[in-house]
Amino acid sequence: MQKTKSLNKMTFGSLALSTLLLIGSCSKNADKPVTVPINDLNASQSLATTASPTVYTMDVASIRKDEGYAYKVSPIPVDGDSNTAPTASTLKVYENGVELGPAHSVHADIRDIGKGRFSHWSNGLYFSTSDNSSPLTNGRKYTYTLTGTASSGATAPSTSAPATSTPATGSVLSTVLTGYAAVNGTTTGGKGATAVTVSTLAAFKSAVAGNSPKIVYVSGTISGSGLTPVYVGSNTTIIGKTGAVIQSLNLYLFTVSNIIIQNITFRNYVTECGIYVKFQSHHVWIDHCDFATDRSHGWDYWGKDIGVAEGSDYVTISWNKFHDTYLSLLIGSISSDAVAANTGKLHVTVHHNYWYNVSEREPTLVFGSIHMYNNYHLNNDGYSIGARYGGTVRTDNEYFSGCKKPLTTNLDGDPVGYFSGTTTNIYSNCGSNDITSSLSSWVPSYSYSSVLDAAANVPAVVTAGAGVKTVN
């Protein structure tokens, strides 16, 4: 259900506009793609690639109806989660080669909500399909692996990726930056600094403070109260080691620049956003992270995954997973000084991200200019991408599957935004777009054709490459 409450938590008062802020068109030039190699993070992201795992096929005879949307397969060759180790399993489930999730789901949620949730408990697998249809009759192929990444066949899905973007393998982080975070300067984070590793909240706050170059590894789980702010200084690289989790915290990037955040699992940020880029911050790269919240608390409890607002600029958001939440990504805000703050700002590139089981805002745009390419949107029950208050969204080779309303400008009666490139996308089993403004011809000022995947390849490329990776 589309949310009607307008832009809560990040809005500071309604602004009555008599005219729309129109985004000026700019033409694509013939320059080389805006890409920057990240060669010196003192944290090598050239990591060992694991061998392809064995793929197990679930034939119909092996699948038993449980309750609600849940189905059971047993026995599984190895034991999984238990009361003492509730996230021990490495099992992954695939539907026609597309990864389902989240894993380690509560059994009641698999039965009552479904939508791809599963649990490998003891020697049994309890799972649901992506659209809650029956795996006994829907004609799809279901497979699972016990380690690594797999597909619907005996080999892993294609891991080809843009020549200057992320290798879509199971254990490699991005080493090349593309998009707006490489325009009008670049984004290198703490390049050249000596790396430190932190595992407590106090150490983390101290390590990321200040504006001197710094590289901070996060080890284990760092938790806050749900309302705990952590202020990140300029010239910072934050990298999660394998399994690193930041939960119940908010990373505030306020009036800062040159920041890289990679390989962190973010959970349950109560106020505003998991990562909030605000107050003229610029040159920020958020890459290979995983964002989710507990949906049992309702619309108004959790914050957004990421917010970019109040005149911030030159941001790239790439290769992340966003799932199981109500409101994901908000770019721009409505406040008494929003027009002045955001005019000519909010240039954001969003590419190769994976949204699934999200209600809306993948993202929504208020003012600004977003370039979105090669993102995968799965099972959205509200709207996927929204444009309002004169903001313009360029889409290139997006893939929407099972989404109620992929693109919309019809949001809560707000002034409309604009879309460009809508015919380049694939809409599979989706509802209609709801675009009430004239189509735009806007494209970003940088060239990007050489880093663009075909729309048909997006599910395989993105599910193989998005999310956290192995960093030792």
Condensed to tens digits (0 to 9), the pLDDT of residues 412-451 reads 899 999 999 999 999 999 999 999 999 999 999 999 999 9
- Distance in angstroms (rounded) separating the CA atoms of residues 116 and 70: 10
Report pLDDT for 185. Answer: 94
Global confidence as pTM? 0.68
398 torsion bin: left (phi>0), alpha (psi -120 to 50), beta (else): beta
- Distance in angstroms (rounded) separating the CA atoms of residues 14 and 4: 14
361 in active site: yes
Angle at the Cα of 296 from the Cα atoms of 293 and 302, rounded to 5 degrees: 45
Longest dimension (CA), the chain: 65
Low-confidence spans in the chain with pLDDT less than 70:
1-52, 83-84, 148-172, 295-303, 335-338
Residue closest to 96 by CA, chosen among 469, 401, 427, 406: 401
Backbone angles phi, psi at 252, to 5 degrees: -100, 120
Q: How many CB atoms lie within 10 A of CB 262?
A: 26
Q: Which is the catalytic residue, given 117, 267, 361, 394?
A: 361
Report pLDDT for 49. Answer: 32
Rg value, the chain, Cα: 21
Read off the tokens for 345: 């700002």
Report pLDDT for 305. Answer: 87
**H or E element, residue 341:** helix 338-342
Report pLDDT for 155. Answer: 27
Report pLDDT for 23. Answer: 33
Helix (H, G, I), strand (E, B) or coil at 362: coil
Query: String of b and e for 245-261 (b: at least 16 CB within 10 Å)?
Result: bbbbbbbbbbebbbbbb
Report pLDDT for 41. Answer: 39
Strands (E) across 110-220 are located at: 118-121, 124-127, 142-145, 176-178, 195-198, 214-218
Helix (H, G, I), strand (E, B) or coil at 39: coil
